[in-house]
Amino acid sequence: MGQDYHAACTDWRAGARDVCSRPMQSHKSELIELMMESGVLTFGDFTTKSGRKTPYFLDAGRYRTGQQLRRLSRIYALAIGEHFGQDYDLLFGPAYKGIPLVVSTAMALAEQGRPDIPFAFNRKESKDHGEGGVLVGQRPRDGDRVLIVEDVTTAGTSIRETVPILCAAANIELAGLIVAVDRKEKGRGPESALSELAREFQMKTHAIVDIDEIVSHLRTRSVDGKPVLDAETLARIESYRALHGAPSD
């Protein structure tokens, strides 16, 4: 890449230029490539859960094979080890897309030598027979440090739905939130939704990659002779970011 990579980044907004000035870590680029190969990351016209019209979309439901989840979970496990160490007792995946993420990540952590870590996830509807309730897997216990494993953060809606479920189950501590992608969009106020969640719930948050890193990585890429991000798509992303994007940290 070298000079071509840096030259291609010069017209992206200031925050993204900072991203372009340093080499991308291998697990970040691997995640971006995996999302593209799996069809998880697409460009077009979409509506997010928060109701925003967006020119790019991330759908973790498009991971459809064991090999894809194996690669993805290893990336999550690596990022968890790097940014959270072993400061958690339970992994939690919000229904529905967080379910395969939390299960496969727990397996990847075990493969990487982490002491066997329990996991849990929730149902969308409470079960009134058998074990009952909305939680499946290891039930949270008082004092548990819970690390939430999610796919993407846009406005923070799903996390605000998840935290009351966890707090109703036990007197837990929120160890943090890890997501694959931070869209770097405003939450309820001017700061990013991820930063807002960190402050609101007094927990550590981490995104493996963010939208600026994704654009920086893909803007020089071509498939079958066509750019992945053409001028029109880049302009639409920039317009969307100008409207909904949070200031760079």
If you count them, how many residues does the chain have? 249
As to burial, measured by CB atoms within 10 angstroms (0-12 exposed, 13-18 middle, 19+ buried), residue 182 is buried
As to burial, measured by CB atoms within 10 angstroms (0-12 exposed, 13-18 middle, 19+ buried), residue 249 is exposed
Q: Which residues are catalytic?
A: 127, 129
Distance between terminal CA atoms of the chain? 26
Q: Kindly state the DSSP code that residue 229 receives in the 8-state scheme.
A: S
The strand pair at 145-153 and 133-137 is best described as unpaired
Q: Which residue has the tokens 């929730």?
A: 122
Radius of gyration of the chain (CA): 18
Query: HEC states along 131-177?
Result: CCEEEEECCCCCCCEEEEEEEEECCCHHHHHHHHHHHHHCCCEEEEE
